Amino acid sequence: MNEDINILILSCGTRNKIVQYFKKELAGKGQVMATDCSELAPALYDADKYFIVPRMDEEGYLDFILSICKENNIKAVFSLIDPELSLLAKHRQNFLDIGTIPIISDFEVVELCFDKYEMYKFLIQNGFKTVRSYIDKEKFYKDVEAGIINYPVFVKPVKGSASININKVNSKQEVEVLFNQFDNLMIQEFMDGIEYGADVYIDMISGEPVAIFTKEKIKMRAGETDKSVSIKDDKLFELIKKFVKKAGFKGIIDIDIFKVDDEYYISEVNPRFGGGYPHGYECGVNIPKMIIENINGNVNKDVIGDYEEGICMMKFNEVKAIKTVK
């Protein structure tokens, strides 16, 4: 008889769909458990079992999570927030030692994703088109004078997430104000084109990309895709396959891509479930099922492009009411 497959979702927040999808795929074969540092994280209440945990920057946090995994026979763990991904990747062995597989890329690859300028350099060095970026503002000003780049541009933190502190600027004065106010900023070209998102699963056993779902972003809200439409392009699939193999990703990743004058430019990578992944699942790109296959020791078959084009996703509001314990 097969042992139950229990999965732990860390920092679940508002991402109730991810919890629901794993419950649906596991139906009767295991439990979906979730954690958050707030009892007001609505996705907790969709899990079979949940835990209120310390904040991830508090001492003893890792041991707390490891003890949950051990006591609940957790077979796989992943997080839905960026700051926790490095922690999971760094302590991969601690989890493996107790029989829990972290669904995450290697630490160096995760760190590459969170340093936008390092990722820019990696893409350029490996021959991938990407968004022109600067950390040296003087070099940027020279390129403006030379007509290589023009305003408007984006000024953003080199290490940042959830679209926090991103500013669209139109003049040298604005660049100066921001650089005087904040440390560790970069300047990025404004891409006047179509923005795409790609949800990609790289098999944890074979290391091969086995699922790619691409969508055109129609509307964004707080850095997440709010409305999108599914698209398919073999040229884009080939580009993504080449990129993920070169970078050495594993598990689930989310890529931001721009299309300008029929050319694709890779922008950023989140090495986790992206906020727009529910669109892929609803179109039949079943990454939770693929993760479960890998936990069972099975290699997934390639289903890249195996979905319908022109399917729109629209997010809408839902409400959960709970009685808090004082």
Here the CATH number for the domain that contains residue 54 is 3.40.50.20
Asked which of 145, 171, 189 is the last residue of a domain, the reply is 189
Is position 325 within any domain?
A: no
Is position 112 within any domain?
A: no
Give the model confidence (pLDDT) of 35-74 as tens digits: 999 999 999 999 999 999 999 999 999 999 999 999 999 9
CATH number for position 141: 3.30.1490.20
Residues 152 and 230 grouped into a single domain: no
Residues 276 and 211 grouped into a single domain: yes
**96: confidence class by pLDDT, cuts 50, 70, 90:** very high
Is position 80 within any domain?
A: yes
Is position 153 within any domain?
A: yes
Range(s) of the domain holding residue 164: 132-189
pLDDT at 1: 42
Average pLDDT over residues 227-236: 98
Residues 199 and 306 grouped into a single domain: yes
Task: Say whether pLDDT at 309 is over 50.
Answer: yes
Residues 248 and 301 grouped into a single domain: yes
Q: 77: which strand partners?
A: 8, 102
Residues 216 and 310 grouped into a single domain: yes
Number of domains in the chain: 3
Is position 284 within any domain?
A: yes
Is position 70 within any domain?
A: yes
- Long-range contact set of residues 69-74: C-beta below 8 Å, sequence gap at least 24: 69/8, 69/95, 69/98, 69/100, 70/98, 72/6, 72/8, 72/31, 72/33, 73/3, 73/4, 73/6, 73/99, 74/6, 74/7, 74/8, 74/33, 74/100
Is position 1 within any domain?
A: no
Average pLDDT over residues 225-240: 96
Q: Are β-strands 251-260 and 224-231 bridged in parallel, bridged antiparallel, or unpaired? A: unpaired
pLDDT at 236: 98
SS3 at position 222: coil
CA angle 178-85-161, nearest 5°? Answer: 20
**2: confidence class by pLDDT, cuts 50, 70, 90:** low
Dist. CA 20–CA 250, nearest whole Å: 23
Report if pTM > 0.85. yes
Residues 201 and 164 grouped into a single domain: no
Average pLDDT over residues 227-237: 98
Average pLDDT over residues 19-26: 98
Average pLDDT over residues 109-136: 97
Give the model confidence (pLDDT) of 146-200 as tens digits: 999 999 999 999 987 656 678 999 999 999 999 999 999 999 999 999 999 999 9
Specify the residue for token string 């179109």. Answer: 283
Give the model confidence (pLDDT) of 260-278 as tens digits: 999 999 999 999 999 999 9
Dist. CA 200–CA 300, nearest whole Å: 13
pLDDT at 70: 98
Residues 277 and 305 grouped into a single domain: yes
Residues 81 and 32 grouped into a single domain: yes
Residues 181 and 154 grouped into a single domain: yes
Residues 211 and 301 grouped into a single domain: yes
**225: confidence class by pLDDT, cuts 50, 70, 90:** confident
**220: confidence class by pLDDT, cuts 50, 70, 90:** confident
Asked whether 36 and 47 are in contact (CB, 8 A), the reply is no
Residues 24 and 92 grouped into a single domain: yes
